[in-house]
A = this chain, B = another copy of it.
Amino acid sequence: MKIKAYNKLLEELKQKIVENNLKYTEQREIILKTLYDSKKHLLPDELLGYVRKNNPKMNIGIATIYKTLNLLESFNMVNTITTEQKHTLYEINNKSHHDHMICTKCDKIYEFENERIENLQIEVANKYNFKLTKHIMQLFGICEKCQTHEG
């Protein structure tokens, strides 16, 4: 199940690489895999940490992380979230579309889907003859856990 989903992503990466006359490298696969395995949204620097931890024999640099993230983003294979502190977090784009609720106390990120909101966004875009390519929607606030831990 899981492995199948990852293999599909890997095939997609390979295909995009060929399409664009680029080259398949181990680094690119490692970065894709690490993002895929991550349970949470990652900073480039955190991603590098995991990449190095799981591939101690290789010497991977932060520049490769950034270049690969930009590549994956151009392939529409990663999504980004910008926190209130202007940090950019990355996640693999292999799930159905979702948006994010971000707790400003514990920084935890919750995902949610809401088809009605999606439809209304399309409706708004249509009204303005705006050709929608993507959107970001992030709700900021205090999560349930942090509210109870307060007083």
On chain B, the residues within 8 Å of A120 by CB distance are 114, 116-117, 120
* Complex interface: chain B residues within 8 A of A139 (CB): 121, 124-125, 130, 132, 135
A26 within 8 A of B: no
Does A104 lie at the interface of the complex (its beta carbon under 8 Å from any beta carbon of B)?
A: yes
- Chain B: CB-nearest residue to A129: B144
Interface contact B124-A142, CB-CB below 8 Å: no
Count class of interface residues, chain A: 20 to 34
Query: In whole angstroms, what is the CA distance A125 to B82 when docked?
Result: 19
Residues of B within 8 Å of A86, CB to CB, are 82, 86, 88
B140 touches A137 (CB 8 A): no
Q: Are B128 and A144 in contact (CB under 8 A)?
A: yes
Q: Are B88 and A112 in contact (CB under 8 A)?
A: no
Question: Is A144 in contact with B130, judged by CB distance below 8 angstroms?
Answer: yes
